[in-house]
Each structure stands twice: as structure tokens, then as C-alpha cells.
Amino acid sequence: MLALLGLFGLAALTGRAQTAAAPAAAPAVPKEPTVEQRIADLEAYINNTARTPDVASKIPGPGPGHNAWQMVSTALVIFMTLPGLALFYGGLVRKKNVLSVLAQCMGIAGLVTILWWAVGYSLAFSGGNAFIGDLGNKFLNGVEAGKTGAGYYWISDTMWAMFQLSFAIITPALIVGAIAERMKFLAVLVFVALWMFAVYFPFAHMVWSPTGLMSGPLNPNAAIKAIDFAGGTVVHMTSGWSALVLCIILGKRAGFGKEQMPPHSMVLCMVGTGMLWVGWYGFNAGSALGADAIASNAFATTTLAAATAGFVWAVAEWVTRGKPSVLGFCSGIVAGLVVITPGAGFVSVSSSVIMGVLAGIVPFFAVNYLKKMLGYDDALDTFGVHGVGGTLGAILTGIFADEKVNSVVGGLKQGLIMAQLKAILITIVWSVVATAIIAFIVKAIIGLRPTKEVEFAGLDVSEHGEEGYLN
């Protein structure tokens, strides 16, 4: 009897051991697609929509056409900064400071790229909470060229990361316009490094992440269901309002108000404007994340708003000053591009013309009258164009967004204007407070401005040991 019980006990132990040692069930292998499902995959690619779920797609990687457009768009946005913005700003400063502006743009491009690779992309787009991501994709871990889905259905995860990097580069570079000719190069770099963590990474996450606070199209649980197609809040409002605060804390240029400080080369400014306009197609049409109808709409609205605003601004100068200037055309074009940015893929072409008219009027008055009335030295009008224009664009996007243009608007239209106003308020308060804190920290540790002697001599020779012109 004891022997029998022992055998039963041994059998039970053996069974448990075998059960414990049994391998875990292998994950279910997706079914092979039927002919109909394979055709559905092709239709999804053509229409830039999701693949057939739970099926082993025969097109598992990026779709060639959509991904090619994303690569071109990324190059165009980088082209906006280098050389577009650099030449635009470079032409507007005095010739003794032209290289300082170019160096600031290039320095920011290098610094931000390193930060983006290390933790920036992850903080912007990897998990986290409503305000900031986590470190799940630090050093771009898990971001692979052959995978899709991080950004959209048919574009490479690597290209999504690079596309967003191009936005991260140009945003702080825009701030350079407000503080041109009077901020130390080291102070610019330290300020930008801190600003990216305090402002840009959180706003990229809040507006464009599936878990973001203000990501109406992507987050069904977003507390504020706002929309921003290509960066009205994330890019233009954050940089524009930060630029206003920084230029006030920094103080006016030596001699400001006592001597003329005209642009040294309107030729460079105009060339830079043209490059910005061309590059902006990558900015706006590229934000469709595919070569589809929404990209085409964004391309058209971008063109119409820019051209209309450039013309209206010049006419406004003609009426108020007697002559339309090249600087007026350039400023208006950029203002039109800024204002249409948040709505490029959400509004109709006719609405974009109205937005272009307002872009040629409201920023015009901010640049020519508000600045004089308040007395701040926004050297190259970053706040007047990007801060005011970005805010105007966010409001107009809430008014003109049309579900016939982009179906995502349909579920967000009710209460959209109020959501836009809430997003605007958060962007302004956050950007202003964060910038002020960072500016005073940098000022206390390393100082913001060069000596008056350096400033009068020019930053090119003093800070970079070079001259833009030898005669």
C-alpha cells in the first residue's frame, strides 16, 4: 500500500515537473492573406490607410511612394533652416553680424540633433503621460527603418523620427531673430538646450502624441481636443512668444532707437524667403504623412496663403507709407506661411485665401505699430510674425476647419474654437514662464550679452574670428 502511494506521489511530482517545464505557448502566427486581403492591402497603400489587421501583410515595410514623399519633405524642412532661415535672417542684420546668425542656425541644428537622438524623440513620442513622453526610445532604440506605425501607416519609423527632428531644429532657430546681434553664442546654445526640455519636447508630445494633452485627432481621451496640422502651437507660438520674453529680458541692441539699423542685404533676405517658401511644402504638405489628397490640399492652401499674404502686406505698406518694399513682400509671405501652418490640412483653399488676407494685415500691424507702441527690440520680428501669426492661425484653424477637407475634423468640430483658445492660452503661459526662468538662469550663470565693445565691433569677428565680407 505504501509502495502504491509512493508511486502515485512520484507520478504527481513528475507531472508537475513536466507541466512546469513545458514551454510557453508560441504567439499566434498571423494568417496568410487571401487574394482579397492582399488586394485590400494594396488599396490601403494607395489610400494611405491601415493595413488589413491580423494578417501577414505581403507589404510589411514602408510603402515606397509615401515614404519617398516623407524623405523629400524632411529634406525640404531642413532646407528651410539651412540655408533658408539662415539667409533670411542673415540678410536682415547688419553686415558685421551676418556670420553670427549663420553660426547660431548651424550650432542649433547640431545641438538639437544630438539631443533628439539621445532623449528628445523619446520624450516627445514614446509613451509617458499627457505632458511628456518617457525614455523608451532613448538613443532611438526600437526606431527601425523597416518598421512602420510610429508616425503613420506607410512611412518608416526612422523617417518619422527624422521628419520630426527637422521641426525640432527650426523651432528654436526662429528665436534667433528676436535676439540677433546682441546675445553671446554660448548663451544661445545653453538657452536652447534648456528650452528644448522645458518647452519643445513637452509641446511636441502634448500636441502630436497619441497620449498628448491637446492631441485631438490622435488621443480620444485628450483633455483639450485641439488640432494643429503642422505646428502653429508647437513651432510658431512657442518660438514666437518665447522670443518676445527673451528679447525683453536681454534688452535692446546698443544704439537702438538712436541710429539706423537697416538690413545689410535685401537680396539675401529675398533668396532666403524663397527657400523658406519652397521648404514649407515639406513642412505643411509633408505633415499629411503620405502622398495623398490631404497632402495635395496642404500644398494648395500653403501656396495660396503665402502668395496672398505677401501681396496684402505690400499693399498695406503702399497705402500707409507710399511704397511697397521687398522687405514687405518677404515679411508677408512668411506671415502667410505661418498663419496657414496649423490649418493647412484642415481648411479649404478658399478659406486659405481669407487666412492669407488676415496674415497680411494682423502681423503687419504687430510689426509696424505694436512693437513701437510697447518699445521692445524684436530685432527681426520673430514675435510679430511667428508669435502673432501662429496665434492668429490657431484661432482661424478652429473657425475654418472643414470635415469635407479632412474627415478627422468631423468628430472634433463641436467645441473646437474653445479647444483652440484653451490650447493657445496654455502655449502662451507655458512658453512665457519657462523662457523667463531659463533666461534668468543663463544670465546668472554665464551671462546673456557680450560686452558693449564686442557688440559695437560686431559678433562675427569677436565671437567667430571671421568676417562675412572682406571689403
**Predicted local distance difference test score (pLDDT) of residue 467:** 95
Q: What is the pLDDT of residue 28?
A: 60
The grid coordinates listed for 144 are: 527601425
Q: Which of 286, 316, 259, 262 is nearest to 160 (CA)?
A: 286
Chunked in runs of 10, what are the mean pLDDT values of the chain (471 residues)? 37 37 53 85 89 81 95 98 98 98 98 98 97 98 96 96 98 98 98 98 98 97 98 98 98 93 97 98 98 98 98 98 98 98 98 98 98 96 98 98 97 97 98 98 98 95 94 71
Question: Exposed (0-12), middle (13-18) or buried (19+): which is 235, by Cβ within 10 Å?
Answer: buried
Radius of gyration, CA atoms only, the chain: 26
Q: Which three cell numbers stand for residue 34?
A: 487571401
Separation CA 242–CA 6 (nearest Å): 80
Q: For 330, how many CA atoms within 13 A lie in the half-sphere containing its CB? A: 25
pLDDT of residue 7: 35
**Which residue type, as a one-letter code, is found at position 320?**
T
3-state secondary structure at position 114: helix
Q: Which three cell numbers stand for residue 423?
A: 490650447
pLDDT for 2 equals: 33
Short-list 386, 396, 381, CA closest to 247: 381
Q: How much is the pLDDT for 12?
A: 38
- The pLDDT score that the predictor gives to residue 22 is 43
Burial class (CB in 10 A: 0-12, 13-18, 19+), 24: exposed
- CATH code given to domain 75-464: 1.10.3430.10
User: What is the pLDDT at residue 19?
Assistant: 37
| pLDDT at residue 54 in the model | 79
Whole-structure pTM value: 0.91
CA distance 327 to 453: 30
CA contacts within 13 A on the Cβ side of 380: 29
Q: What distance in Å separates the CA atoms of residue 158 and residue 145, rounded to the nearest whole number?
A: 5
What's the confidence (pLDDT) of residue 89? 98
Q: How far is residue 235's CA from residue 337's CA, in Å, rounded to a whole number?
A: 12
Q: Of 157, 171, 199, give the one whose Cα is nearest residue 283.
A: 171
Residue 284 sits at the vertex; the CA angle it makes with 228 and 135, to the nearest 5 degrees, is: 60
What pLDDT shows up at residue 125? 98
Check: CB of residue 337 under 8 Å from CB of residue 308.
Answer: no
Sole residue written with cell 521628419: 163
Number of Cβ atoms within 10 Å of the Cβ of 271 = 18
Would you list the domain boundaries of the chain? 75-464
Phi, psi of 291 (to 5 degrees): -90, 75
Instruction: State how far the Cα of 50 lies from the Cα of 32, in Å rounded to an integer.
Output: 17
pLDDT at 470 (0 to 100)? 86
Task: State the pLDDT at residue 26.
Answer: 55
Write the single-letter amino acid at 83: P
Nearest Cα residue to 342 out of 209, 233, 206, 218: 233
- Cell numbers that stand for 166 in this block: 527637422
**What is the pLDDT at residue 37?**
86
Task: Kindly compute the dihedral angle of the four CA atoms of residues 139, 144, 147, 149, in this order, to the nearest 10 degrees.
Answer: 20
